[in-house]
Amino acid sequence: MEKNVSRATPDPTPTWRHPSVVANHKARTFRSLVFAGLCVACVLAVMIPLGDMLYMFAYRGIQVISIARLTGNPISATPGIGNAITGTAILTALSGAMAIPLGILGGVYMAEFSKGGRFSEALRFCADVLAGVPSIVLGYVCFLAFVVYFNFGYSAMAASIALAIVMFPYVFRTTEIAIRRVPESIKEGAIALGSTKTTMINRLVLRFAMPGILTGVLLALGISLSETAPLLYTANFANYNPTSLFHSQLGYLTGVIYLFYTSNLSFDVQLSYLATFVLIMIVVALNVVARLGLKRFSKV
Amino acid sequence: MMNERRETQGAVAASAQGFAPKAPGEMMRLVDFSAYYGSLEVLKHINLSILQNKVTVFMGPSGCGKSTLVRTLNRMNDSVPGFKTSGKVLLQGEDIYGPEVDPVLLKMRVGMVFQKPNPFPISIYDNVAFGPKIHKMTKSRSEMDAIVKDSLQKAALWEEVKDRLGKSAWGLSGGQQQRLCIARALAVRPEVLLMDEPASALDPGSTAKIEELMVELKENYTVVLVTHNMQQAARVGTNVAFLYKGDLVEFGPAADVFENPKSPLTEKYIRGSL
Amino acid sequence: MSPKQKSSRIDKIYGTATALLSSSAFLFLFLILGVLLIFSYPSFAVNGFKFFVSSVWNVPTNNAIVVVNGFKTLQGAEYGMTVFFFGTLLTSLLALLMGVPLGLGIAIFLSQLAPRRLASPISFLVELLAGIPSVIYGLWGFIVLGPVLLKEVEPAMAKYLGFIPGLHGPAYSSGLLASGVILAIMIVPIIASISRDVMAQTPTELKEGGTALGLTNWEVTRKIVIPYAKTGIVGSIILGLGRALGETMAVAMVSNGATFLPKTLYYPINSIAAFLAVNFDGAFEDPTKMFVYSLGELALVLLAITMLVNVAARLLVRKGFFGGGAEHVIQV
């Protein structure tokens, strides 16, 4: 070990009292405050539109809300968004039924069975690219493929397929991440007890990863609820409930908002607000559930 | 001779600012100092004196408050929510918890080295130059070079890294990284150097080097060492403070504390039966 | 069959089944690319290179039908994408200009400045912003933002900032600015929440090392936290960009649907996505379907842009272009 060659000569003035250091320090303290203030300003700047949106649509929505309006459709005696609510429910359920199992099982494959080779690399790449595809492009493609070529017509089925493709990458990715978070020791323990990999995954891993998976599912459902463009292309829009999953148009909340907001009929515009209000409530509820659920299960 | 000069100047500076006079050779003093996390009292009415150019050791079992105590000396605990203090901590006679003292500037006077080496993911040179650059201590590149070289020499690392100052600090070994952190702390020319279990994450060889370094460092700095290693405390320490559950149980020269402990608690701890 | 053989058979089946199901990702992408390529080919054959450089999109539906390069189209129909292409780029650029500082500011606030009790509800609100549907943004933009920008903000900007090129002249429309602002608000949550997560992962010992040297809070953030989180932050920005490029409804509702390129900030605008959404109905009035095929080519261009951004980002992150080791790379 080298010997300390130079003995420090103590500075005549301790450095912290150097006038330049002190002056510089004043400037630094000021800068720190300024930037902290700027960050707070950023938060406020973004909270203002949010607040305005929530307030405005709550206000206008509550003015119009009533049972009749929530159950009727735009052409009944009391114009309502009942068919839109039903339509949104149908689309969410159908697309969820397709995308969620597909996404979860895909995530299971990626986390448990894949060997990290080119196949799974390509899969991951594909899923990430899919996540980035604009939904309008998906709508256009599904229109040409399903509405026209496969002759589903404007239908809940064509629209649900489009929505399912939108949802799939999210469920796929979040499931994989959630499963990978399950500690190896638990998985090894099960295998050591003689369990098959299948049972281990289905009974143990999925249960552990459920909070993360559910968050992904809720996120995907939220996305599906919020889509408009692909639905316009694949389901068109109707003022009544669909009679079949094929060749039958249907209404949906986002469609009400988009198609009625410039209407000359005043109650159409009001329906637009009402649909906005209802949709916001659903989204807020979803977010709250996701947050609470995550908090409760994070203690694992 | 040099110590006297510093002492006189310190006293002159202190009295010029109207501070309380301090005992000769004393760098810091805790006066009836207590610390709280919320309503939990973690340090209870501590009175002790930290002497200039000596190594003062804080010792005790886990949870005794020694880490909290050393962190109050440079106000690192300020950011902990609910942290409160009562009593005084005097640095050269001035209460560091007083209203005129800026916590940021304080850290130029009281530096700290941590248990786990924490060099920044930048070059060795930039690590050492980090402090002086922020505080604008130098005006030219050559001044900075001098500070970096001086600090690395004082930390007994210069010879090992002088040819690769531009390489990333994360490429160094654990012991080297810790010495780099010491160099980095020394670069802002502190008066006091706090070392919170600096060798506990290192292998025995590096630990020995750090201990040698501590003995050297006290020539120019006041060192406060926290350790759970009694042999290290005996080897390196001038004065030893034994803490237990927030109380200062015993304080005195190392030889006295280890060979003739006054308190039965201290004796139990030394024997390992606490 | 022994239990052991049986069990590994189940596992094999499960593994293969899940592999097959995952392959639907390939199927979907193949479907998208395939359909777009097939249905944009006629447009490519008829419009050729002009499609990429012309700013005229005009479909005179009453004209006669002619045949060009083997495909039917209307006489005098012109299909040029530059208005929409540059509109997409311009609105996304504006969105980044405003959204990145805002998002980072929020991320810094949430990870470094805010006490825990405040950080949690604000994080929730930021995530709520992310969940609000695009149409609702559009509706708010149409009712509130557009008029405010047009009547108050733009005249003030023109008056005080008119010396900056592009910010001069009469407040003709709020299309471009409103689109930029709305997109910025929409990408803020993405940037903010990912950046916040990455910043929060900065090891405490690194930050403490900075504080112990006498750094102010802001200096710790700027010189230690942000460099550490650099890769993740850039990743979040690229994700935000991807979202802005493909955003449809909000832009459609506030952009005022321009058919010409803007000369100043106070012009209407149009984006590829918005144009696709709004013209879907109208495209069927063209009996030759060339309008539909041209929309397909537009969709292909948009897909190409978003794919390019995505892939480039991933490559750059992997190659460490944005600094930082792979240790703290997020899933871009």
CATH of the domain at B23: 3.40.50.300
Q: What DSSP assignment string belongs to C18-33?
A: HHHHHTHHHHHHHHHH
Q: Any idea what the Cα angle at residue A237 is, between residues A231 and A240, rounded to 5°?
A: 130
In one letter, which amino acid is B54? Answer: K
Do B72 and B33 contact (CB within 8 A), yes or no?
yes
**What domain range is A138 assigned to?**
85-252
Subunits adjacent to chain C (3 or more Cβ pairs under 8 Å):
A, B
The torsion angles phi and psi of B162, rounded to 5 degrees, stand at -60, -25
Go through A129-153 and write b for each residue having 16 or more CB atoms within 10 A of its CB, e for each that does not. Answer: bbbbbbbbbbbbbbbbbbbeeeebb
Q: Work out the minimum CA distance from B272 to partner chain C, whole angstroms.
A: 30
Identify which has the larger pLDDT, A169 or C3.
Answer: A169
Domain count, chain A: 1
CATH number of A247's domain: 1.10.3720.10
Any idea what DSSP says for residue B123? B
Q: How far is B116 from chain C (nearest CA, A)?
A: 8
Q: Three-state secondary structure along C83-107?
A: HHHHHHHHHHHHHHHHHHHHHHHHH
Helix (H) or strand (E) holding B33: strand B26-37
Cross-strand partners of C66: C73
Beta-bridged to residue B36, according to DSSP, are B41, B84
Kindly list the residues from chain B whose CB atom is less than 8 angstroms away from the CB atom of residue A27. none
Strand partners of residue B222: B192
pLDDT of residue B16: 38
Alpha-carbon span A293 to A299, nearest angstrom: 11
| Residue C100 identity (one-letter amino acid) | V
- Inspect the interface and report whether the beta carbons of A134 and C253 lie closer than 8 Å: no
Note whether A74 and A80 are within 8 A (CB).
yes
Cβ-contact C193, A290 below 8 angstroms: no
DSSP state of A6: P
d(CA B5, CA A242): 95
Are the beta carbons of B6 and A5 separated by less than 8 Å?
no
The Cα A279–Cα A72 span in angstroms is 17
The verdict on a CB contact (< 8 Å) between A129 and C188 is no
* Section B199-205 average pLDDT: 90
Question: CB B188 to CB C213 under 8 A?
Answer: yes
Q: B193 with B186: CB under 8 angstroms?
A: yes
Tokens found for residue A155? 């239908």
Number of H helices, E strands in chain B: 11, 10
**Smallest CA–CA separation between A40 and chain B, in Å?**
19
pLDDT value of residue A297: 60
Contact residues on chain C for A227, CB-CB shorter than 8 A: 133
**Of C98, C27, C36, whose CA–CA distance to C276 is shortest?**
C36
From the CB of residue B107, how many other CB atoms can be counted at a distance below 10 Å? 25
CB nearest to C211's CB, from B76, B120, B130: B76
Find the length of chain A.
300
Summarize pLDDT for A191-229 with one digit per residue, the tens.
888 888 888 888 888 888 888 888 889 988 998 899 999
A6 and B150: CB-CB below 8 Å? yes
Apex CA C327: angle with CA C322 and CA C329, to 5°? Answer: 50
Q: How many domains does chain B have?
A: 1
Other Cβ atoms less than 10 A from the Cβ of A278: the count is 22
Task: Phi first, then psi: give them for residue A246, nearest 5 degrees.
Answer: -125, 150
Q: Which amino acid is at C282?
A: G
- Chain B contact for A27, CB < 8 A? no
Is B104's CB within 8 Å of A22's CB?
A: no
Q: What is the pLDDT of residue C3?
A: 61
CB pairs below 8 Å between A and C: how many? 239
CB C265 within 8 A of CB C166: yes
CATH class of segment(s) C81-328: mainly alpha
Q: Chains contacting B with at least 3 CB pairs below 8 Å?
A: A, C
Tokens of C98: 């405003």
Q: Which residues of B lie closer than 8 Å to C, measured between beta carbons?
A: 74, 76, 79, 81, 104-108, 111-112, 114, 116, 118-121, 130-131, 134-135, 181, 184-185, 188
Tell me which chain B residues have a C-beta less than 8 angstroms from the C-beta of A1.
Answer: 156, 209, 212
**Interchain proximity C136–A138, CB inside 8 Å:** no
Q: How far apart are CA C256 and CA C254, in angstroms?
A: 6
Cβ contacts of C178 within 8 Å, gap of 6 or more: C141, C145, C146, C149, C254, C255
- Are residues A29 and B109 in contact, defined by beta-carbon separation less than 8 angstroms? no
How far is Cα C82 from Cα B249, in angstroms, rounded to an integer?
81
* pLDDT interval class at A13 (50, 70, 90): low
Q: Which residues of C touch B74 (CB under 8 A)?
A: 212
Nearest chain C CA: its distance from A266 CA (Å): 15
Closest approach of C117 to chain B, Cα-based (Å): 11
Helix intervals (H) in A146-205: 156-180, 184-192, 197-199
pLDDT at C321: 59
Cβ-based contacts of A38 with chain C (< 8 Å): 105
Q: Is residue A277, in this structure, part of any structural domain at all?
A: no
Chain-centroid distance, C-alpha B178: 14
CB burial of B119-155 (b: ≥16 within 10 Å; e: otherwise) equals bbbbbbbbbbbbbbebbebbeeeeebeebbbbbbbbb
Q: Which residues of A touch C311 (CB under 8 A)?
A: 129
What does the alpha-carbon distance between residue C222 and residue A5 come to, in Å, rounded to a whole number? 36
Identify the closest residue of chain B to A27 by CA–CA distance.
B135
The mean per-residue pLDDT over the stretch B190-219 comes to 92
State the pLDDT confidence band at A12, using cuts at 50, 70 and 90.
Answer: very low
What are the tokens at C293? 């095929």
| A25·B102 Cβ contact <8 A | yes
Measured from the Cβ of residue A113, the count of other Cβ atoms closer than 10 Å reads: 19
Residues A91-105: tens digit of each pLDDT: 999 999 999 999 999
Nearest to C276 by CA among C54, C95, C40: C40
- Walk along chain C (332 residues) and give the pLDDT tens digit of each residue: 566 666 688 888 888 888 898 899 999 999 999 999 999 999 999 888 889 999 899 888 788 888 888 888 888 888 999 999 999 999 999 999 999 999 999 999 999 998 888 999 999 999 899 999 999 999 999 999 999 999 999 989 888 888 888 888 888 889 999 999 999 999 999 999 999 999 999 999 999 999 999 999 999 999 999 999 998 899 899 989 999 999 999 999 999 888 899 989 999 999 999 999 999 888 888 888 889 999 999 999 999 999 999 888 777 767 665 554 433 333 33
Query: What is the separation, in whole angstroms, between the first and last Cα of chain B?
Result: 43
Whether the CB of A184 is below 8 Å from some CB of chain B: the reply is no
Backbone φ/ψ region at C75: left (φ over 0), alpha (ψ -120 to 50), beta? beta
**Per-residue pLDDT tens over the stretch B31-70:** 999 999 988 999 999 999 999 999 999 999 988 899 999 9
Contact C248 A29 (CB under 8 A): no
- Interface contact B74-C212, CB threshold 8 A: yes
* Residue C213 CA from chain centroid, whole number: 41
Is A95 a member of any domain?
Answer: yes
Q: How confident is the model at residue B23 (pLDDT cuts 50, 70, 90)?
A: low
Helix (H, G, I), strand (E, B) or coil at C72: strand
Mutate to test the interface with B, among A2, A4, A18, A26 (most CBs of B within 10 A): A4
> What pLDDT, on a 0 to 100 scale, did the predictor assign at position A6?
42
Measured distance CA(B44)–CA(C80) in Å, rounded: 80
The DSSP result for B143-191, as a single string, is HHHHHHHHHHHHTT-HHHHTT-TTSBGGGS-HHHHHHHHHHHHHTT--S
Containing structural domain, residue B35:
2-271
Neighbours of chain A (3+ CB pairs under 8 A): B, C
Cβ B184 vs Cβ B165: under 8 Å: no
Q: Let me know: does C183 contact C100? Beta carbons within 8 Å.
A: no
Which of C213, C216, C226 is best to mutate for the B interface (most B CBs within 10 A)? C213
Interface contact flag, A7 B135, Cβ < 8 Å: no
Nearest CA in chain C to A38: C105
Q: CA of C170 to nearest chain A CA: how many angstroms apart?
A: 26
| Contact list, B184 vs chain C (CB under 8 Å) | 209, 213
Measured between CA atoms, the residue of chain A closest to residue C275 is A136
CB-based contacts of C312, cutoff 8 Å, min separation 6: none
- Cβ(A126)–Cβ(C26) below 8 Å: yes
When CB atoms are compared, the residue of A2, A7, A16 closest to B219 is A7
Point out the residue among C115, C215, C227 whose CB comes nearest to the CB of B81.
Answer: C115
> Exposure string (b/e) for B189-202, b if CB count within 10 Å is 16 or more?
bbbbbbbbbbbebb
pLDDT for C126 equals: 93
Task: Kindly write down the DSSP assignment for every residue of A177-245, as one continuous string.
Answer: HHHHTS-HHHHHHHHHTT--HHHIIIIIIHHHHHHHHHHHHHHHHHHHHH--HHHHHHT---SS--SSS
The reply to whether residue A2 touches residue B150, judged by beta carbons under 8 angstroms, is no
Beta bridge pairs of residue B30: B48, B89
The predicted pLDDT at position C320 comes to 63
Write out the H or E segment, with its range, that includes residue B199: none
**Strands C65-68 and B239-244, sheet pairing:** unpaired
> Which residues of chain A from 259 to 278 reach within 8 Å of chain C, CB to CB?
261, 272, 276
Domain ranges of chain C: 81-328
Whole-angstrom Cα Rg for chain A: 28
Distance CA B210, CA A1 (A): 10
